[in-house]
Structure formats: structure tokens, C-alpha cells
Amino acid sequence: MPVAEQVLGVSTTLLKKHLDGDADANQRGEETQQLGLSYRQGPLAVDDRSNATGLVAGDRAPDAPCLDADGRPVRLFELFVGPHWTLLRFGSAAPDNSAVESYEIGSGIFDAYGHAARAYDVPAGTSVLVRPDGYVGLVTSSAATLEAYLGRVIAMEPELSDPGRTVSA
């Protein structure tokens, strides 16, 4: 709700400027790019590290140049494209799960330049689950936590994606 409130506030301000004929009505700044949004306190943000620094569940997932299994360049953002959850496993953190696109950084996706390691800054054995909107939903080293989280969010997906669903206040 706080994020929606922020986005609506920016939209309202821009519309008011446009209707008032302000000279800067069509200028856009950082607030319109929405790259500073965070869902850290949201219900889909779970991070079970006791001393998390840097990237935290709820943050936008960082991009990084890597190499695929055939040595071709691939960016992490390319792996995130589509309406699926993406699991990045740093050092065999968790088994593959058929409900998500899963990649092991270091085996299958190679962080040849160390950009992914620096951007994510998680210890070996950690799983980072990226939501379909490109934000980090979960950071954990526990396979049980990963399975429980996936069970919860995958069960919610039909409800979240049903265009005929109506929501009453």
C-alpha cells in the first residue's frame, strides 16, 4: 500500500502540473522511473539472514553480466524476463524447483567477472528468489524456508493473476 500511495502521489502531481499548464509538466525525474521503490517491509519480502547488509528482500534485483553454459554473454535481467519467479542459487544453495526458473551461479550461469557476487553479496549456500516484477522476494540458506515460501506464493498466483477477479473494499 505505501508503494501504491507513492506512485499515485507522483501521478497526481504530474497531472496537476499538466492541467495547470506548468512549464515543467513534461519533465521527468527519478521519482517517475520508480527505480528507488522498495518492498522491504512488504508481506512478500522474507530475508532470514541475521545480519543482512546491502541487498535485502524487497529490493529491486540487481543486473549483472554473466556467461551461460556455452560461454555466451547473458545478463541476469534476461533470465528474469517473463511472468515467472526466478531462483538464483549461489553455490548449490537449494535443489531445483519446478515451480520457478532456477539457475546456479557458478554452474550453468558463470559470474566470470564477479559482478553478480558483488551485487548480491550473499554467502555461498544462499538462494535468492526474484519475483516476476524483478524484486527480491526471498533470501535464505534454508531449503525448508524456500519450499514454504514457494508453497505460499505459488498458491496465491491464480488469485493474483485472475483478470475476472473482483476485489471489494
Q: What is the CATH number of the domain that holds 150?
A: 3.40.30.120
The reply to whether 144 falls in a domain is: yes
Distances (CA, A) of 90 to 60, 117, 118, 122: 18, 9, 12, 8
Q: Which residue has the higher pLDDT, 29 or 19?
A: 19
**48 and 24 co-located in one domain:** no
Structurally, the chain folds into a number of domains equal to: 2
pLDDT reading at 111 higher than 80: yes
**66 and 6 co-located in one domain:** no
* Least confident among 4-8, 46-50, 87-91, 124-128: 4-8
**105 and 144 co-located in one domain:** yes
Which pTM value belongs to this model?
A: 0.72
**58 and 25 co-located in one domain:** no
φ/ψ of residue 167, rounded to 5: -115, 130
Q: For residues 83 and 103, what is the distance between their CA atoms, to the nearest angstrom?
A: 16
Q: Which residue has the higher pLDDT, 80 or 165?
A: 80
**1 and 54 co-located in one domain:** no
> Residue range 92-96: average pLDDT?
60
The reply to whether 156 falls in a domain is: yes
- Sort residue 53 into left (φ over 0), alpha (ψ -120 to 50) or beta: beta
**5 and 79 co-located in one domain:** no
What nine digits make up the cell of 91? Answer: 553455490
Proportion of the chain above pLDDT 90, given as a percent: 48
**55 and 95 co-located in one domain:** yes
The reply to whether 86 falls in a domain is: yes
Element (H, E) at 75: strand 73-75
pLDDT of residue 41: 81
* Residue 72 lies in domain: 38-161
The reply to whether 169 falls in a domain is: no
φ/ψ of residue 93, rounded to 5: -65, -35
pLDDT reading at 112 higher than 60: yes
Torsion angle defined by CA atoms of residues 110, 139, 64 and 100, in that order, rounded to the nearest 10 degrees: 70
**60 and 109 co-located in one domain:** yes
pLDDT-based confidence at residue 165 (cuts at 50, 70, 90): very low
Q: For residues 103 and 88, what is the distance between their CA atoms, to the nearest angstrom?
A: 5
Sign of CA dihedral 81, 87, 92, 97: negative
Query: How many Cβ atoms from other residues are within 10 Å of residue 137's Cβ?
Result: 25
> Residue range 112-130: average pLDDT?
93
Element (H, E) at 160: helix 143-161
> CB of 111 within 8 A of CB of 66?
yes
The reply to whether 14 falls in a domain is: yes
